[in-house]
Amino acid sequence: MRVLISIGERNFPRDVAEGLEALAEVIYLSAREKGYWEALREAVALVAGGERIDEEFLDRAPRLRLVARFGVGYDNVDVEACTRRGVYVTHTPGVLSGAVADLTWGLILSLARGLPGADRFVRERWAQGLERLPFGFDLEGKTLGIIGLGRIGAEVARRAQGFGVRVLYHDVVRKPELEEAYGVEYAPLEELLRASDIVSIHVPLLPSTERLIGERELRMMKPTALLINTSRGRVIDQRALLKALREGWIKGAGLDVYEEEPIPLDDPLLRLENVVLTPHIGSATRETRRRMAEACALNVKAVLEGRRPPNLVPEQRIDDR
Ligand code: NAD
């Protein structure tokens, strides 16, 4: 049996792979590397990154029984096509929520206090003593609107308590236990957008969330508000966001994800001063990436031993009910 790992040794350390080697031949090759498609033909399990896994892909993987997505979002995987062919799809829920919530707060603080500009100022101009930096703003007493109060959204809400921020949330499911635990208040989307000083998005990318935030929604936000996105780029209409940032409908944005990744160097978003941008690093800490690899390995091991993997995506958990 063969296991193909497409996410590299940095993400899936050799010692984690060793646990699988007694059961299968383990091959590391990324989708861009020579030999990947040959290796895939014989693979029973694939540890996958963001590569598109659709019918055409599955045609080239006749022995595949498992797509173990390294990450919690699986919008790059056609789950229905996998299910039709008897291919399990797993992901790594929970183990990365804290890391993404930390980055979310990092983006909020960077914008509230102008950290990228302050860093450049110290390196380039402070000693000349001629100019002053603009003031930032306090977080205490402000309103944070969380769209999607799932695993990551809840961790963002938990951290908000420490900053003295009032939290509104919008979700398709009401979460009374989280309302109780973190003092968060439910609001319809429009109300949340109008009332929040900071709006942070934590929904999965689905047909119903694609372009959830477009021109109409951006125009509802306060001109002083910040928009943070660490979910998926396509949840925001990026052209409308560019217009909103240029024309001052909102004050700033902190983005970890983009409609196209990597975002092209000539994208006009990269020339704006009122944005803080990171390269899809929500889960990129040593501890979290290791936990993600270990979770993937447990799923692979289960399938190699003929068991159901523990972290099936919800669409494949239907017979649990
Ligand atoms: P989750 O499933 O626990 O939470 C998602 C929440 O969104 C759920 O509560 C769900 O009810 C809600 N939701 C769904 N559709 C909605 C809608 N139309 N309006 C409002 N709420 C809606 O998922 P999670 O583990 O918190 O992860 C969320 C997403 O974060 C992932 O799907 C992934 O795309 C993204 N993510 C990004 C990074 C990164 O590196 N930037 C890392 C991990 C996850």
Per-residue pLDDT of the chain (321 residues; tens, 9 = 90+): 999 999 999 999 999 999 999 999 999 999 999 999 999 999 999 999 999 999 999 999 999 999 999 999 999 999 999 999 999 999 999 999 999 999 999 999 999 999 999 999 999 999 999 899 999 999 999 999 999 999 999 999 999 999 999 999 999 999 999 999 999 999 999 999 999 999 999 999 999 999 999 999 999 999 999 999 999 999 999 999 999 999 999 999 999 999 999 999 999 999 999 999 999 999 999 999 999 999 999 999 999 999 999 999 999 997 654
Residue 245 within a domain:
yes
Q: Say what the pLDDT of residue 218 is.
A: 98
CATH number at residue 215: 3.40.50.720
Residue 40: partners with Cβ closer than 8 Å, 6 or more residues away: 4, 46, 60, 61, 64
pLDDT score for 321: 47
Is residue 311 within 6 Å of ligand 1 at its C-beta?
A: no
Atom of ligand 1 nearest to the CA of 212: 18
Query: Is the Cβ atom of 194 under 6 angstroms away from ligand 1?
Result: no
Please work out whether the CB of residue 98 comes within 6 Å of at least one atom of ligand 1. Answer: no
| Residue 273 and residue 174 in one domain | yes
Residue 103 parent element (H or E): helix 97-113
Q: Which of 220, 241, 219 is nearest to 229 (CA)?
A: 241
Q: State residue 318's pLDDT score.
A: 75
**63 part of a folded domain:** yes
Cβ count within 10 A of residue 21: 11
Claim to verify: residue 190 and residue 311 sit in the same structural domain: no
Same domain, yes or no: 125 and 263: yes
Q: Are residues 115 and 50 in the same domain?
A: no
Q: How does pLDDT run across 91-135, given as a tens digit for each residue? A: 999 999 999 999 999 999 999 999 999 999 999 999 999 899 999
Do 68 and 7 lie in a common domain?
A: yes
Q: Is residue 321 part of a domain?
A: no
Ligand 1 pocket test: which of 184, 201, 202 has the largest number of ligand atoms within 8 Å of its C-beta?
202
- Does one domain contain both 26 and 74? yes
The answer as to whether 54 is a domain residue is yes
Cα–Cα distance measured from residue 168 to residue 146, given in angstroms and rounded to the nearest whole number: 6
Whether 131 and 237 map to the same domain: the answer is yes
Residue with tokens 């049996």: 1
Same domain flag for 259 and 309: no
My answer on whether 109 and 63 are in the same domain is no
Looking at the fold, whether 48 and 163 belong to one and the same domain comes out as: no
- Can you give the residue range of the structural domain that contains 11? 2-95+286-316
Count of structural domains within the chain: 2
In a domain, residue 178? The reply is: yes
Q: Are residues 257 and 294 in the same domain?
A: no
Q: How far apart are the first and last CA of the chain?
A: 32
Contacts of 258 (CB under 8 A, 6+ apart): 233, 238, 267, 269, 280
Residue 23 lies in a domain: yes
The conformational region for residue 131 under phi > 0 = left, psi -120 to 50 = alpha, else beta, is beta
Burial status of residue 62 (CB atoms within 10 A of its CB: 0-12, 13-18, 19 or more)? exposed
**Does the Cβ of 94 fall within 6 Å of ligand 1?**
no
Q: Which positions are catalytic?
A: 232, 261, 280
Cα 151 to ligand 1 centroid, rounded to whole Å:
7
**In terms of domains, do 126 and 266 share one?**
yes
pTM for this entry: 0.97
